[in-house]
Chains A and B, each alone.
Chain A
Amino acid sequence: MVTELYRRHEGKYKLAVMAVFVAGSVCLTLYAHAILKTGGLFTHLFYIPIILSSIWWKRKGLIVAVCLGGTLIASSAIFLRADLSDNLLRASMFLLIASVVVILSEQIARREEALRESGETFRLLSEQSLVGIMIIQDDICKYANQVSSEILEYPVEEILSLGRKEFAEITHPDDRTFVWGQAQKKQKGEEGAVANYDFRVTTKTGKIKWVEQYSRTIPFGGRNAIFSILRDVTNRKLTEEKLAEYSQNLEEMVEARTRELRDAQEQLIRKGKLAVVGQLAGSVGHELRNPLGIISNAVYYLKTIHPDADNTTKEYMEIISSEVRNSEKIISDLLDFSRIRQGKRETAAVTGLVAQALDRQGPPDNIKVVREIPPSLSAHVDARQIVQVLTNLLSNAYQAMPQGGTLTIHAEDGGDAIRLSVTDTGSGISGEDMRKIFEPLFTSRARGIGLGLAISRNLIEGNGGTIEVQSEEGRGSTFTITLPVREEG
């Protein structure tokens, strides 16, 4: 309180003290000279105001010395009329002392100013710095600037007050051994400590941040300390991590795309093969139909004009007729296959599709058909194409079971798609055949052109579905198709 008051009115106090001293000195001089009529004055006391004023006001202090010296000379001249040389000597001593003090105090002031300035520069550098600055000595923080406080989310005072243990715990547990191992080396001034590294810290609010640190050993208060610069690199680290993740994904993506391209290429080749086969089949089929028509007309004519032919002739006529019908059937199938029209997709009940296929391709007497189809299921497909595929699967299944067996048609809801499977208990398919089973012109039968499954696959894929086969030799096969429930995209 008192010091506060003093500080605020320092100038006035100094003036008052000086006025008292000067007035006292003047009075003392006049009293000794005029009343006591003696020149034996204790002028050493006069040095007090002279030195003080010279310290306080520098050159202006000389005025006090001049005043006091002048007063001494004038007073002795007026009142004592004695030899002035003694007092002149005293007055010159006043000036000399004052001058010396002024010079010294000015020097001190300059040095102080320089010190103050350098302190200010340091403060500015440290406080306005864009990086965190810390000085650590004996595992305790001796100095921390504003930025480091912002990074760690601790107030500066709190960082400085943290104990060794608490301060060490700011470092992330996983990085603690390394960071404090390095700190030990630097504290001891050992060679080979790492100057620059990244590590994690746990902030006061519990956030994990990445910081980049530059640190080295400096002398501080006569002993070793660690001067450390910190930078928050959390964002950079996150980006780096993402980048690493992305480059990892990129590899996978490239792999996936390559696979897709290869599949697409295979599909193109398959489709191209099919298209050529289809065109050929189409034109051959058409060309064969005319001669077949003529043969069947001719046979009809012969049968009509020879109703009383012998049995063998009749039998042979019948053979020709039935073989013409068989040929006609093969050609119809071929033409059906060669003509993949653009599908018209509508919502169709799965039970209906299966029923139509079973209508077209009824089972032989020795085959039992089991249907496991929930009536609620429907798919968004071209019904005719799917029926064609199912008919083909049924026909294949029957042919796989010449000795009879069970055919199971099972359907289930698979979310976005219906899974429909046709399972037979027939001869099964060998592993080698399985790979080629959807290839055009592949057939395992003595008769057949090997287009059925190739066409089926094209039709199913054209309808946004998939077809696959599972089989065990001697146990039977399952063909599973998926059909989309609703329009895609």
Chain B
Amino acid sequence: MKNKGAVISTIVIASVAVILALIWALILSARVVNPTAKIYQDGKLIKTIDLTAVAEPYSFEITGEHGANTIEVRKGEIGIIAADCPDKVCINTGFIGGGAIPIICLPHRLEIRIESGEEALDGVAR
């Protein structure tokens, strides 16, 4: 009788483990998102762009109290192509489509970061 109880208990634990593993897998898959560009101005999120949903390249301008930046969006990547800042570091960074490297226009307090769900890197030395 005791053995029978142990067998049932083991079967229940195994079943619960399988169910929980499936739930975990679902949670993990839900975390993976399309590469998304997030544009911040003065530390505040002002625009979110799904880079996989770009049919044709396009550009737009973001103007703030510190100056203006022209941003170009292509399928899978984004970059700053013009800016009236003095150092042009933002333009020189080029186009980004993943990883942990942001585009930063420090004089204009503008940042573009990619959220891809891959989380391949925690930081980038530069």
User: Do A and B form a real pair?
Assistant: no
Interface residues of B (CB under 8 A from A): none
